[in-house]
Chains A and B, each alone.
Chain A
Amino acid sequence: MTEADACATEDLLSRAVGGESAAFTALVRKHQRLVYSLALRMLSDRHKAEDLAQDVFLQLHRSAASIESAAHLLFWLRRVTINRAIDRLRREPRYEDVSLEEGLLLVSDACDEDPLLQRRLRELVGRLPAAHRAVVLLRYQEDLDPAEIARTLSMSINTVKSHLKRSLAILREQVGNTAAMGPDGTASRLEHAPTKHGSVT
């Protein structure tokens, strides 16, 4: 997030707190991808994700005055979305698999990648335990480092690293077992490479 972007967000925030609904609408538009995507990957259901994302923004509308900065807003949105999703998963029976409609929709977003492998990965991420899933999403969707993930989820950094390591091992094993096929018909070979924040140990 650039400084100008942060200033613009904070301006919208203060106007929204002042009761300007157009400013709040702009805040929603600016952050709806983040919130909806986290909810969708956590719940694996578009309707539940839409519902949960709306709930998060409703809560933001009530709590906007307590948000101190653009960075705080991002932290708050990620934390509230993940916590609400985990609460919902505890309350309701787990939606076990990504629906066919969901798979096709998401495949269309990733036209230049291996669509079958990516669909399989989304399915497998959706089957990880909720805490592991949250760690993986914040790492690969939100591109947070382990320290930021630890702060967001109120976990120790060691727990975050351990969850990531375990999750990647499961995903690698599962994808390897099913021998995910690339668009050219060859089996995809997955290797763990160092990330921009360093490798997870």
Chain B
Amino acid sequence: MRAFVRRLTFACILLPAMLAAALAAAPDVRVKMPNFGSLAEKASDSVNITLDSALLSIAAGFLDSSKPEDAAAKELIAGLKGIYVKSYTFDKDYAYPSADVDMLKKQLSAPLWQRLVGVRSRKEQANVDIYMAIDQGSANGLVIIASEPRQFTIVNIVGSIDLQKLHRLEGKFGIPRLQLEEKK
């Protein structure tokens, strides 16, 4: 009888607790994007993409595996859980709301997030920050914050990312050549 009570206690209390702990341990690498309402109003062109896992799988269904570029894209998104992009293009130089960018950057703190790249270009007047979420030795999140005089972009990729796979897509779908190999 006691053994039964112990098993019941384990089943009713410990198992849900362990499950909750496991869920809590799984890092959430989807960042909360600022609204950027003022940017959207002033932008001449804006891109707002929200692709969760359901939409990614629908999109994958419409990629033709017999075409090399589609097959590469399909392979790239296989491990992804979401892609979220906000990009605003302006007709003239524009000062971006630093408070919104700061709020975003506060979410990208160590130890989960590591800043891989943080560059300021005097020539192009561009600032680019690339953050990667590293969990148990593998990259499972990416954030790019790029601000140029006439364009402001935030990309958040959720899931396991292989930049080499993205590299295979360069020159396709209008994706520029990344020259990643030269970096080696």
Chains A and B share a contact (CB less than 8 Å): no
List chain A positions with a Cβ less than 8 A from chain B: none
List chain B positions with a Cβ less than 8 A from chain A: none
